[in-house]
């Protein structure tokens, strides 16, 4: 989606009954919705979570605020659906399962990369995902949205349904906790590289 105005026009077309317009929204946001579900623990159920989230978003589109951004609104629905799915099947995904699903979701390291650099990056990603598992749900979500999904602070606040100040303080606490787990000077750099 290029601009918020273009997105708003597309949503207006959907509300006007144009089904293909919603298909455009789905195509534009499927990859990040799937990645969100995987990173928040949906694992093998990520595709089902995304389909259900898009259905719920469609059904709720009439309540969408035109001045808001669609992506964070949708990702909030994906996060809630992921939480419901994980809770309903009574199993938590391990960091290894998440890593495997994330690697399948999109290539992280280009084939032309140096094998030693690829191994270091892979190990860094494993350590980061294992450390993320040590965080509370609210801290894991704020780090995931802000760094692994590259949402800005305002989009993260919107996706979490929290004020920006709350996002800042949760992010600060989460990064301090990750620093204790991973060591100083590695946290923010690892988080920024972890989802790529």
* C-alpha span between 4 and 145 (Å, rounded): 19
Give the dihedral sign, CA 116/125/35/189: negative
pLDDT digits (tens, 9 = 90+) for 89-144: 544 445 545 555 555 555 555 555 566 776 777 777 778 878 888 888 888 888 88
User: Helices H, strands E: what count in the chain?
Assistant: 10, 0
CB atoms within 10 A of CB 19: 9
Whole-number pLDDT of residue 125: 77
Q: Take residue 48 and report the two structure tokens written for it.
A: 């089902």
Listed range (50-54, 61-65, 124-128, 167-171) with the worst mean pLDDT? 124-128
Yes or no: say if 50 and 6 are a contact pair by the CB < 8 Å rule: no
Q: Which fold has domain 1-106?
A: Rna Polymerase Sigma Factor; Chain: A (1.10.1740)
In the chain, which residues fall in CATH 1.10.1740.10? 1-106
**CATH 1.10.10.10 spans which residues of the chain?**
113-196
CATH T-level topology, domain 113-196: Arc Repressor Mutant, subunit A (1.10.10)
Q: Which residue has the higher pLDDT, 82 or 103?
A: 82
Query: What would the two tokens of residue 172 be?
Result: 């600060």
């Amino acid at each position: 989606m290029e601009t918020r105005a273009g997105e708003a026009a597309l949503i207006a077309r959907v509300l006007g009954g144009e089904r293909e317009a919603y298909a455009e929204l789905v195509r534009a946001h499927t990859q990040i919705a799937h990645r969100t579900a995987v990173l928040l623990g949906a694992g093998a159920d990520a595709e089902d979570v995304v389909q259900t989230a898009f259905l719920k978003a469609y059904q709720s589109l009439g309540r969408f605020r035109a001045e808001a951004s669609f992506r964070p609104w949708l990702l909030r629905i994906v996060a809630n659906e992921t939480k419901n799915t994980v809770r309903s099947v009574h199993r938590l995904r391990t960091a290894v399962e998440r890593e495997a699903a994330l690697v399948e979701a999109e290539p992280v390291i280009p084939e032309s990369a140096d094998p030693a650099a690829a191994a270091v990056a892979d190990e860094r990603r494993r350590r980061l995902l294992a450390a993320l598992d040590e965080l509370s749900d609210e801290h894991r979500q704020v780090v995931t949205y802000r760094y692994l999904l590259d949402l800005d602070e305002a989009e993260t606040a919107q996706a979490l349904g929290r004020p920006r100040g709350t996002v800042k303080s949760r992010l600060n606490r989460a990064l301090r906790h990750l620093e204790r787990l991973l060591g100083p000077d590695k946290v923010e750099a690892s988080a920024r590289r972890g989802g790529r």
